[in-house]
Amino acid sequence: MSDDTFGFHVEHTSHKARAGLLATPHGEVATPAFMPVGTAGSVKGVTPDQLRAAGAQMILGNTYHLMLRPGAERVADLGGLHAMMAWDSPILTDSGGYQVFSLAHRRTLDADGVTFQSHIDGSEVRLTPQSAMEIQRLLGADVIMQLDECPPGKTSHEEVAAAVARSADWARRCRDAWQAAGRQSAQGARQALFGIQQGGVFADLRARSAAELVALDLPGYAIGGLSVGEGHEAMCDVLEHIDEQLPSDRPRYLMGVGEPRDILAAVARGVDMFDCVLPTRNGRNAQAFTWAGRLRLRNARWSDDKGPIDPQCGCYACRNFSRGTLRHLFMAKEMLGPTLVSIHNLHFFAELMSAIRQAIAAGTLAGLSGQWVAGMYQDLDAGD
Amino acid sequence: MSDDTFGFHVEHTSHKARAGLLATPHGEVATPAFMPVGTAGSVKGVTPDQLRAAGAQMILGNTYHLMLRPGAERVADLGGLHAMMAWDSPILTDSGGYQVFSLAHRRTLDADGVTFQSHIDGSEVRLTPQSAMEIQRLLGADVIMQLDECPPGKTSHEEVAAAVARSADWARRCRDAWQAAGRQSAQGARQALFGIQQGGVFADLRARSAAELVALDLPGYAIGGLSVGEGHEAMCDVLEHIDEQLPSDRPRYLMGVGEPRDILAAVARGVDMFDCVLPTRNGRNAQAFTWAGRLRLRNARWSDDKGPIDPQCGCYACRNFSRGTLRHLFMAKEMLGPTLVSIHNLHFFAELMSAIRQAIAAGTLAGLSGQWVAGMYQDLDAGD
């Protein structure tokens, strides 16, 4: 079923921005790429067919959620995450670390891992670098992530330094476990391990973290610990250095981002991959992204509006449904409203990434980025 | 966009059962037909594309819900119900009467109509034969229903007789209003008005009701006031007489049915059309219909089951998802579970009706019905 290769090639650069191709056993991904999030075995509210039609290339699954329910062994029994989700294209799984630190109860951290209570049933669960690898081997994603420690925003330099040291040590343990497993999933497909840079907003710790990871010669590198409340400027300051800190021939993945303005700033600084719940979460809450600003579709001003969310958009929702109908579906609490606006937003993010790739190839990204941000952050619901 | 004709032709008969073709301005419907219910402007959880792919030919919209929210004028402003729902195939709307009697608060009935409080915002609303026609003219369905009075089960002969008299009077008023409007929707398409037989379980009242409606020479006739707790046998007793009571060249529609066993019994007695929330409501509750019985997909016995709901089924859910995955989606409260099982159930009902039509044409319905019922009413979850 799958080509057993993994590779990354930069095809165009424009200043620090790169457009390339990520090859995985489940197909190729044009970068910069945005990965919709399928937390618990489903990108909420959309079928894989709708997801593909909306332009998604690669999706993310959450190890934390899947290990707790239905369990990694059960996912493997059901044929792995690709089979379970009916998604035969690339998948990335995170390591579970971030959710342990944000969702789980009664966390205890030690040198070898983290013990926590499941937020689902209160049971005690332990996650180690080795078990994070084994779980992701069972899930079977194309790209797997090291276990890391992600301190909250506003953590002191001393504590972030400790998290950086621990994350580097865990990266090495993850690499050893991944190599021992033959770099293969339980389904027999090649898996690529990415390390995760930590270091908060401290430039020295970011540099140290990157250097320690790069020494492990991993297939890709993620930038973790951002989009945790530090703000756009602080994020940009950290990203300013990644082009020199991380090797140019490996994909760079900014975890949990996000906002179109952040994506544009990160691409300009050399990031290749993104993931965020924004298109689906905001879609479920009736907020639709457009190049000319966001629509809050519960707003009464759209009640009689016969036009689509965006007249320029070719998504299924815009080809078939008016703003007035979508508003009605949300007011009537019909499931179809969240599904349709999620489809629209997923399509918007796919279009945004496609426009970014074209602009990098054309050398026009810097100029267009500013225009796009100016358009996208208008308030379309103003006056209500 | 539409052929302006309405017609009905019986193509095959097998004892009292009929297979035919209903022609409407939005296309043809092979009968016996099952109409999925799109209560509030959406067949819950499925897009019109998914609905069509599942084999639905014609759907039902609820006048009561739509008149309260978003309002019939607003539906007309948005282009009518076909445009609003992105469903360019036939639609039938009920008159609102049934929901007024089952959902609304503080109902007051008089000779000219019914006044009630909206279950949504408590506002006082009045529905008359004339306004039921006007609202359905604005909604724009292909088939519209008279306003009737549907007494609850266990109502006395005297009270049912009064409801029959009132319904007959309202049928005449509806016909007059429909004719005065040129038998056309606000969107300019031909609409067909169906009368509704009442009479509860009383044979004399059923006969009287039918006779009064048939005298009005309407394009079709519905059998109302069944599936309200009277039971399968009492329903069959009423249906036993419809073939002689209702003209053979008009479609016969059994409202709110329903259960495959009831559909089969009704088809054998000469019914052509059905509607019910069963496929979508049960789908949302993880219950999947198959020819070999129903699966309750939250049942732990399906946790590791790699097979589809039904190996013989060609629906999107069965082609892509295992029972184990579907169970997980329900346990994790993922919207995709209700959507997928609704799609499966809609496909099952479409397949059931297709098999019924083929059996009528082949003259094999009587024998097959018994086999189908024996299969379908096994308990597949037994032993758990």
**pLDDT tens per residue, range B144-168:** 999 999 888 889 999 999 999 999 9
Say yes or no: B153 contacts chain A, CB-CB below 8 A.
no
State the nearest Cα–Cα gap between A191 and chain B, in angstroms.
Answer: 23
The 8-class DSSP code of residue B22 comes to E
| Catalytic residue chosen out of the listed positions A94, A262, A272, A310 | A94
pLDDT at A236 (0 to 100): 97
Distance CA A17, CA A269 (A): 6
pLDDT digits (tens, 9 = 90+) for A30-41: 999 999 999 999
State the nearest Cα–Cα gap between B113 and chain A, in angstroms.
Answer: 26
State the nearest Cα–Cα gap between A226 and chain B, in angstroms.
Answer: 28
Distance CA A277, CA A256 (A): 8
Name which of B78, B79, B336 is nearest A47 (Cβ-Cβ): B336
Distance CA A130, CA B75 (A): 58
Cα nearest neighbour of A88 on chain B: B320
State whether residue A133 is helix, strand or coil. Answer: helix
Closest CA to B128 of B182, B199, B177: B177
Whether the CA torsion B63, B68, B69, B71 is positive or negative: it is: positive
Say yes or no: B41 contacts chain A, CB-CB below 8 A.
yes
Name which of A44, A306, A332 is nearest B69 (Cβ-Cβ): A332
* φ, ψ at B128 (rounded to 5°): -125, 165
Distance CA B234, CA B249 (A): 26
What are the tokens at A98? 């971030």
The 8-class DSSP code of residue A201 comes to T
Q: How confident is the model at residue B384 (pLDDT cuts 50, 70, 90)?
A: very low
Q: How confident is the model at residue B100 (pLDDT cuts 50, 70, 90)?
A: confident
Interstrand relation of B113-117 and B105-110 (parallel, antiparallel or unpaired): antiparallel
The answer to whether the CB atoms of A65 and B332 lie below 8 A apart is yes
Residue given tokens 């009935």 in the structure block: B109
pLDDT at B103 (0 to 100): 81
pLDDT at A60 (0 to 100): 98
Say yes or no: A307 contacts chain B, CB-CB below 8 A.
no
Checking if the pLDDT of A197 tops 50, the result is: yes
pLDDT at B247 (0 to 100): 98
Closest CA to B157 of B199, B196, B111: B199
Checking if the pLDDT of B200 tops 70, the result is: yes
Say yes or no: B52 contacts chain A, CB-CB below 8 A.
no
- Which residues in chain A have Cβ-Cβ distances shorter than 8 Å to B40? 328, 332, 334
Checking if the pLDDT of B230 tops 80, the result is: yes
B176: which residues sit within 8 A by CB, 6+ positions away? none
Distance CA A235, CA A266 (A): 9
pLDDT at A264 (0 to 100): 98
The answer to whether the CB atoms of B45 and A336 lie below 8 A apart is yes
Closest CA to B135 of B179, B84, B186, B98: B186
Cα nearest neighbour of B49 on chain A: A316
Mean pLDDT of B18-26: 98
Say yes or no: A103 contacts chain B, CB-CB below 8 A.
no
Active site residue A169: no
- Which residues in chain A have Cβ-Cβ distances shorter than 8 Å to B303? 70, 74
Percent of chain B with pLDDT over 70: 98
Say yes or no: A320 contacts chain B, CB-CB below 8 A.
yes
User: Longest Cα pair distance anywhere in chain A, in angstroms?
Assistant: 61
Say yes or no: B322 contacts chain A, CB-CB below 8 A.
yes
Distance CA B234, CA B199 (A): 12
Say yes or no: B304 contacts chain A, CB-CB below 8 A.
yes
pLDDT at A228 (0 to 100): 86
Question: How far apart, in Å, do the first and last CA atoms of chain A sit?
Answer: 53
Name which of B44, B304, B316 is nearest A74 (Cβ-Cβ): B304
Mean pLDDT of A244-266: 97
Is-cis flag, bond preceding A152, omega within 30? no
Distance CA B205, CA B194 (A): 19
* φ, ψ at B326 (rounded to 5°): -60, -45
Checking if the pLDDT of B15 tops 70, the result is: yes
Distance CA B362, CA B14 (A): 8
The answer to whether the CB atoms of A304 and B42 lie below 8 A apart is no
* Burial track B292-324 (b if 16+ CB lie within 10 A, e otherwise): eebbbbebeebbebeebbbeebebbbbebbbbb
Helices vs. strands in chain A: H and E counts, helices first: 16, 16
pLDDT at B373 (0 to 100): 96
* φ, ψ at A140 (rounded to 5°): 90, 25
Say yes or no: B66 contacts chain A, CB-CB below 8 A.
no
Burial class (CB in 10 A: 0-12, 13-18, 19+), A379: exposed
User: What mean pLDDT value characterizes chain B?
Assistant: 95
Distance CA B202, CA B161 (A): 9
What are the tokens at B103? 């959902």
CB neighbours of residue B124 within 10 Å: 11
- Asked if B81 and B61 count as a contact pair (C-beta separation under 8 A), the reply is yes
- Which residues in chain A have Cβ-Cβ distances shorter than 8 Å to B65? 332
Distance CA A69, CA A48 (A): 20
pLDDT at B101 (0 to 100): 83
Cα nearest neighbour of A340 on chain B: B47
Of all helices (H) and strands (E), which one includes residue B121? none
| Overall size of chain B counted in residues | 384
Mean pLDDT of A332-355: 98
- Which residues in chain A have Cβ-Cβ distances shorter than 8 Å to B79? 306, 322
Nearest-10 Cα torsion for B84, B89, B90, B91: -30
Active site residue A94: yes
Say yes or no: B234 contacts chain A, CB-CB below 8 A.
no
pLDDT at A98 (0 to 100): 87
The answer to whether the CB atoms of A47 and B340 lie below 8 A apart is yes
Active site residues of B: 94, 275
B219: which residues sit within 8 A by CB, 6+ positions away? B6, B8, B143, B192, B193, B194, B250, B251
| Catalytic residue chosen out of the listed positions A142, A262, A275, A310 | A275
The answer to whether the CB atoms of B322 and A84 lie below 8 A apart is yes
What are the tokens at A100? 């342990």
Checking if the pLDDT of A384 tops 50, the result is: no
* CA count, 13 A, side-chain hemisphere, A312: 6
Concatenating the DSSP letter of every residue in B277-322 gives SHHHHHHHTTEE--TT-BEETTSGGGTT--S-S-TT--SHHHHH--
pLDDT digits (tens, 9 = 90+) for A16-35: 999 999 999 999 999 999 99
- Which residues in chain B have Cβ-Cβ distances shorter than 8 Å to A139? none
pLDDT at A1 (0 to 100): 35
State whether residue B217 is helix, strand or coil. Answer: coil
pLDDT digits (tens, 9 = 90+) for B31-45: 999 999 999 999 999
Pairwise pLDDT comparison (A3 vs A350), residue with the higher score? A350
Q: Which residues pair with A116 in a beta bridge?
A: A125
pLDDT at A152 (0 to 100): 86
Cα nearest neighbour of B318 on chain A: A86
Residue type, B272: D
Percent of chain B with pLDDT over 90: 90
Distance CA B271, CA B252 (A): 5
Cα nearest neighbour of A323 on chain B: B78
pLDDT at B105 (0 to 100): 78
Q: Which residues pair with B10 in a beta bridge?
A: B20
The answer to whether the CB atoms of A334 and B306 lie below 8 A apart is no
The whole-angstrom distance between residue A127's C-alpha and the CA centroid of its chain comes to 21
* Residue B44 to residues A48, A170, B136, B337, B346, Cα–Cα distance (Å): 19, 47, 21, 13, 11
- Which residues in chain B have Cβ-Cβ distances shorter than 8 Å to A65? 332
Identify the residue among A39, A42, A298 best suited for mutation to test binding to B, counting B beta carbons within 10 A and taking the highest: A42
Checking if the pLDDT of A352 tops 70, the result is: yes
Distance CA A321, CA A338 (A): 13
ipTM over 0.90: yes
Whether the CA torsion A54, A56, A57, A62 is positive or negative: it is: negative
Hey, which of A72-81, A144-153, A222-231 has the most confident mean pLDDT?
A: A72-81
Distance CA B286, CA B298 (A): 6
State the nearest Cα–Cα gap between A273 and chain B, in angstroms.
Answer: 26
